[in-house]
Amino acid sequence: MRYAACVEYDGTHFSGWQAQKHDVRTVQEVVEAALGRVADHPTPIVTAGRTDKSVHATHQIIHFDSNSERTDFAWCRGTNRFLDQDVRLRWVTPVEDKFHARFSALSRSYRFIIHNTPIKSALYRNYATHEKEPLNAAVMAEAAQVLLGEHDFSSFRAAGCQANSPIRTMHKLDLSCQQEWIWFDLNANAFLQHMVRNIAGCLMEIGSGRRSVDWLAEVLAQKDRTKAGITAPPNGLYLAGVEYPQEFDLPSQRHNIAFWGE
């Protein structure tokens, strides 16, 4: 039987999502180990998308297969018993065999949070990207609109990105601010490696006045990563949602999960 699950994690002490050959702690490995203890057999998982070292998730979606008879509650609570406190299953539900956490997804959503203050916070250092220079949020929001729609995002992909195509469709890029906090929400059919962090780095340069509002359009048109800005740190990045066709009726489609700033 196939199950879907929502995974939430604090990425601070993880070396990313994907299991690796060398001895490092990854989200995939600890979740598979915990699920396997509940299932009483090895339980490989498939994820909607990988996240890098120190990137967080409020809403990562996985699927796994098992013939072990457990209630949804037992899968969820039982697995969480074997997980450290920085990773949790939010829910588990049976799905049709045709459901695939990666290939059934219609889009993914990310949130990037900036703490814009002269002094770096002791409390938020792992959960927001710090920028000491004052940022003009209105200028950043104006510049970001050029990224909406279908584009070649080569200027914003990591050198080691393994995606077959740099073409992506950005459905949403909204920027909000409150006091010393700035955050933006992105939704696209898919993202390239480091794409959000590279966009964030460019927007921060524009917001600080080091670049003009038109610069982002120039970077996009050049399709050259070397023409863009720095890659922003990972600690302000959150995988915030994965959208699927309504036919699968996942719990996250029935109940909105609130996030920071909402």
Residue 110's nearest CA partner among 198, 239, 256 is 239
Terminal CA-CA length for the chain: 36
CB 195 within 8 A of CB 162: no
Could you confirm whether 40 is annotated as catalytic? no
Residue type (1 letter), 1: M
Helices 72-81, 27-39: axis angle to 10 degrees equals: 120
For CA atoms 77, 19, 12, 117, give the dihedral sign. negative
Q: Give strand pairing partners of 130.
A: 115
Sign of CA dihedral 195, 197, 200, 201: negative
How many angstroms separate the CA atoms of 188 and 242, rounded?
10
Q: Give the β-pairing of 87-95 and 56-65.
A: unpaired
Which member of 10, 23, 40, 52 is catalytic?
52
Q: d(Cα 221, Cα 7) in Å, to the nearest integer?
A: 36
Question: How many whole angstroms from its chain centre is CA 53?
Answer: 11
From CA 42, how far away is CA 62, in angstroms rounded? Answer: 15
Tell me which DSSP letter residue 233 carries: P
What amino acid positions are annotated as catalytic residues?
52
